[in-house]
Structure 1
Amino acid sequence: MKKATTAESNKGLIAELVFLLNKGNAHAGFEDAVHDMKEDLLGKKPHGVPYSLWQLVEHVRITQADILEFCVNPAYKEMNWPDDYWPKEAAPANMKAFHDTVKQVEKDRKAFIELLESEEADLYEPLAHGTGQNLLREALLIADHTAYHTGEIILLRRMLGDWKA
């Protein structure tokens, strides 16, 4: 049996990462969670919950954009946690702002996937400007972070009576 080269075996891993980033495997994906949200619920914070649906969706966008920027920009400047990662406003200015945020999440995810799939990508090589981070770690970080908050989005929608059972 012929042993696969690292590049050949990475194709399988990259395909699994792409699927994980796009679909979420055994749970609802981000697009499912944000589909058909009602404008009047975007800014509501259920009792005991410190953030709204809008804040969760915008937080996913901000964080993913930051991870992408970190991966592609050797002059990356670290943002301040948590202030720079969470929107102050409980609701978007309008539905266009909400839809623009969802589209930006999709656009940045696509750009990250293109980075993963590029010929020169090395999943394991530490990023020169980081402290040991590599593309594999950052892909898993995006997937894990988005999945975590996707679950929260669904839970908030259930609490607000706006989720299909």
Structure 2
Amino acid sequence: MPGDDRILRDHLLELLRGGSAHIDFKSAMKDFPPELYGKKPEGTPYSAWQLLEHLRIALHDILDFCVNPKYTAMEWPEDFWPKDAAPPSNEAWRSSVRAIEADIAEFERLTGDPHSNLYAKIPWGDGQTLLREILLAADHNSYHLGQLVMLKKQLEA
């Protein structure tokens, strides 16, 4: 049936949620030892905290761009990477995890809503579509979740 994009939306939801070829967010975060949050193996540019916060900041920025007509672009790279290697508290880590979960859920809601036009240009952008931003969010999440899993393995070795 022309115009039916349910299959595309289902595939996008699968990509956002993780699984298949990509780890899902909950699995990547499960049992991440608090004593490793701020550690960096030799030669590694970022700690787990810095990667997690970068993921949170960037994901929220992409979501904000999608839904906020008053969106203001952040400065790259200074606004996207925390300077401190360790979180100020374990609660800060948990808060970051909850914020990412909430933003992923909002992307899932937008993706699954048949009234969300995946193909229309975002009016305050310069050619981007919701489809492009969903793909960007999923790709970015997958990349940094892979880094977090690898970092955890290195630190636990």
TM over 0.5: yes
TM-score bracket relative to the smaller structure: over 0.9
**Alpha-carbon offset, residue 115 of structure 1:** 1.6
User: How do 1:119-158 residues align onto structure 2 when only pairs under 5 Å count?
Assistant: 119-158=114-153
Q: Percent identity?
A: 45
**Alpha-carbon offset, residue 24 of structure 1:** 3.8
Q: Where does residue 45 of structure 1 map in the other structure? A: 40
Q: How many residues align?
A: 157
Among candidates 42, 50, 56, match of residue 61 of structure 1: 56
Segments of structure 2 that go 5 or more residues without pairing to the other structure are: none
Give TM-score scaled by structure 1 length. Answer: 0.91
User: How do 1:90-129 residues align onto structure 2 when only pairs under 5 Å count?
Assistant: 90-129=85-124
**Alpha-carbon offset, residue 154 of structure 1:** 1.0
Segments of structure 1 that go 5 or more residues without pairing to the other structure are: none
Kindly provide the CA deviation profile for residues 26-85 of structure 1, in whole angstroms up to 9, marking residues without a partner as x. Answer: 132222111111111100111011110011011111000000000001110000000001
Kindly provide the CA deviation profile for residues 109-148 of structure 1, in whole angstroms up to 9, marking residues without a partner as x. Answer: 1112212222421111110110100011001101100100
Matched, 1:32 2:27: yes
**Alpha-carbon offset, residue 25 of structure 1:** 2.1
Q: Which runs of 4+ in 1 moved over 3 A?
A: none
Separation in structure 1 between the aligned mates of residue 31 and residue 94 of structure 2, nearest angstrom: 10
Q: Where does residue 85 of structure 1 map in the other structure? A: 80
**Alpha-carbon offset, residue 94 of structure 1:** 1.5
Give TM-score scaled by structure 2 length. Answer: 0.95
Q: Where does residue 18 of structure 2 map in the other structure? A: 23
**Alpha-carbon offset, residue 156 of structure 1:** 0.6
Aligned 8 A contact 1:42 1:91 in 2:
yes
Cα RMSD after superposing both structures: 1.2
Separation in structure 1 between the aligned mates of residue 114 and residue 46 of structure 2, nearest angstrom: 40
Structure ranking higher on relative contact order (CA contacts 8 Å, 6+ apart): 2
Among candidates 2, 26, 42, match of residue 5 of structure 1: 2
Q: Looking at CA atoms only, which structure, 1 or 2, has the larger radius of gyration?
A: 1
Aligned 8 A contact 1:127 1:133 in 2:
yes
